[in-house]
Structure 1
């Protein structure tokens, strides 16, 4: 309960597979679907709004800060230089996708940075070191050269964020602390981007 109003906690599966709970509540009266970050970045949330419209349920968006803008603030990487983002999932038995590497390398060849989201499970959250290790394993599997530089970030938007940039080895040996974690894979660095990373993210000076 919050401010005298009942609160129902939903996990990712509830939202993606059973959005009817949200829509039914909204059909009966005022309802708020609260989520972290910018509420409309997720295609799932766009789908919920479309379904609401189809049921004659009026909706209103209260825009929030995006992880994308938070990443730019922490890393100093320029927003307009980011290409398509990707997500690194935990591999499973007989399943080790390499499509995230395809996205990273495609962006890299166009001199674009990549924002890499890390998997979230009910019982664990992927860390920056885990994510970088998986990217390197993907490169080895595909016979490609792994990216030379990574920017790891944790708890963006909180009072205790963490950001550290370096080689795969440097980043995998760094302790970023509690989740949630995210990675940016830079392409070439503008002079100001490099200086920002050196000052605020511990990047070694060339």
Structure 2
């Protein structure tokens, strides 16, 4: 049996009791490590689970999925996913491959960013299509997601923006020299996401956003150092949201209750002081820094 097990969003304690029971009896346990990250490192997970974890990076999942599935044909294998197992298309693909190979699959669900964002007060059923914002490069500045935000806003729907994570990405410059060298991990911040959105808006002039557009920045959602701020884009640019992971929401039309909740998270001098404190606390070790 292949078990796709959600770990939740915070630390090693967020796994469900059912998920923990399954992990403890599995002969092989893989930790998916490129679509998202937990706020703790692997040894803490291993200490609680009582199992050695094999880190499954993008290369392993994309190139050696059949090996994992062959193991699951004859024994119990756990594939651990930050958030919920179906929060990324990669895991749906693994599920489909298992079914095509005749391998039994069972999912054990958990909280993900897709439902945890409700903590900011915006109602989940009023969200439109979720989009992902990739890092710009000198030669690649994509904007295909812009039209999706525009469509959501035209219907009064909120847009959740998932921000780019670059973990164990090969250096293209090194590859051109025939060497495989990985770039340092990079995690997009709320600030970078806003800067890129404003650049796209200046280029396309579609009226999707501007310096005064209300948005919501979220950092380390589900963790003890969770941090949420709402306000105009130009004001959120001045906030240090601290270590990853970050997300961004562009609200659509808001109900009065949603408006009141967002007001609770508005930018204030105290908000900025709290941002500095939380960032220092995480860096000093009261929460694990990724």
**Do both proteins adopt the same fold according to a TM-score greater than 0.5, normalized to the shorter chain?**
yes
Q: Which moved more, 1:51-60 or 1:76-85?
A: 51-60
Q: How many residues in Structure 1 have an aligned counterpart in Structure 2?
A: 202
TM-score under structure 1 normalisation? 0.91
Matched with 1:133 is: 195
Could you tell me how far apart the structure 2 residues matched to 1:61 and 1:138 are?
38
Matched with 1:161 is: 226
Can you list the C-alpha shifts for 1:19-66, whole angstroms capped at 9, x where unaligned? 234323323411100011111132221111111112221111101112
Give the structure with higher Rg (CA).
Answer: 2
Cα root mean square deviation, aligned: 1.7
Could you tell me how far apart the structure 2 residues matched to 1:100 and 1:17 are?
28
Can you list the C-alpha shifts for 1:101-136, whole angstroms capped at 9, x where unaligned? 111111001100000000001211000010111111
Can you list the C-alpha shifts for 1:48-85, whole angstroms capped at 9, x where unaligned? 11111122211111011121211011x10011110011
Matched with 1:202 is: 266
Report the secondary structure of 1:170's partner residue.
helix
Could you tell me how far apart the structure 2 residues matched to 1:118 and 1:162 are?
16
Aligned partner of 1:121 among 162, 166, 176? 166
Contact 1:197–1:203, Cα closer than 8 Å, also in 2: no
Report the secondary structure of 1:184's partner residue.
strand
Matched with 2:206 is: 144
- Please state how far the C-alpha of 1:13 moved relative to its aligned partner: 4.1
C-alpha spacing 1:103/1:174, structure 2 compared with 1 (3 Å): same
- Please state how far the C-alpha of 1:6 moved relative to its aligned partner: 3.0
Could you tell me how far apart the structure 2 residues matched to 1:12 and 1:135 are?
27
Could you tell me how far apart the structure 1 residues matched to 2:75 and 2:90 are?
22
Map 1:1-206 onto structure 2 (within 5 A): 2=46, 3-73=49-119, 75-122=120-167, 123-147=185-209, 148-199=213-264, 201-202=265-266
TM-score under structure 2 normalisation? 0.66
Could you tell me how far apart the structure 1 residues matched to 2:110 and 2:141 are?
34
Can you list the C-alpha shifts for 1:130-164, whole angstroms capped at 9, x where unaligned? 01111111111112334211100011111110000
